Amino acid sequence: MAELNDELNESLSGEESSNEGAAGNETRGKWYKRLRKGITTSTSEKREMPEGLWSKCPECHYICTTSELKENLYVCPKCNYHHRIGSEDYFEILFDNQKYTELFDNIQSIDFLGFTDLKPYQKRLEEIHAKTDLKDSMRVAVGGMNNIEIVVACMDFEFIGGSLGSVMGEKFSRAVDYCIQYKLPFLVISKSGGARMMESAFSLMQLAKTSGKLSQLSDAGLPFISLLTDPTFGGISASFGMLGDFNIAEPGALIGFAGPRVIKETIKKDLPEGFQRSEFLLEHGFLDFIVDRKVLKTKLSTLIHLLEP
């Protein structure tokens, strides 16, 4: 045993060793050649793998570089899982040459109720503003999409779960007024956990406010397309999220009002497989169609052409 350990140490160190076998003495060659001995690297000089270089699919666990994932529009190359992305990514995907003009970016949320739960609402807002460039959970932009001028309102889940508050409702209303003024189609990309509890009844009032503005858009004869992404819940699905002339969704998106756990505990029954996924909703008539992100721009352009008078 001691001889075997000595041979192993010699092999790992790159030193020559001899092995006396039945056929006689044979010199075993080194599997690598050490040019310098005693090489050590200080901790300060050691290089760590940069964060954010690789991405792992939560569905199939396929690992690829973030640059490869971005080139594939944040869709898994192996299983077609649609990763959650923000408004800036959607704007780059939809608008021609990634050129657009952001609208109504001068308004942002404030704590007008002095609300406090685990921490003051105002402190939450300050922390989010310090970490991101977002001013609220929705951004509105106008630009060309395959040479079609369109207004796009997109939510950011990063901002308090994309929750519906007074600022989102105001941006939505102003976006509708802009569409009516310039006679443009309106696209809303939903990604939200529901109404923002920190604004209490003010957030709930936005359900009626946004729904009323869509009536004005309809009276003007302008199309409204609602794109539901993962996840879309609560007050969004209970108001404008399901009021589109066309309600469409991305593959595998979780869509509903209350969460599956809450529903199961309420009705005391097991839920169907895939319950609240976009494929289940399409099968039961809640959606018009499901569109892959890689063909989203083309499908939307075709749809708007079909809706033109």
pLDDT value of position 20: 46
pLDDT value of position 191: 97
pLDDT digits (tens, 9 = 90+) for 44-77: 666 665 667 899 999 999 999 999 999 999 999 9
Measured CA to CA, the distance from residue 101 to residue 301 in angstroms comes to 19
pLDDT value of position 158: 94
pLDDT value of position 17: 46
Q: Is the pTM of this model over 0.85?
A: no
DSSP E strands, the chain:
17-21, 24-28, 54-56, 63-65, 101-103, 138-145, 148-155, 186-192, 224-232, 246-249, 289-290
pLDDT value of position 273: 86
- Helix (H) or strand (E) holding 87, with range, is helix 87-94
pLDDT value of position 29: 62
Burial of 122 by CB count in 10 Å (0-12 exposed, 13-18 middle, 19+ buried)? middle
Helix (H, G, I), strand (E, B) or coil at 74: coil
Cβ pair 175, 222 in contact under 8 A: no
10-residue mean pLDDT profile of the chain (309 residues): values are: 52 47 52 68 64 87 93 95 96 97 93 91 93 94 97 96 96 98 98 94 95 96 97 94 96 92 90 92 96 97 89
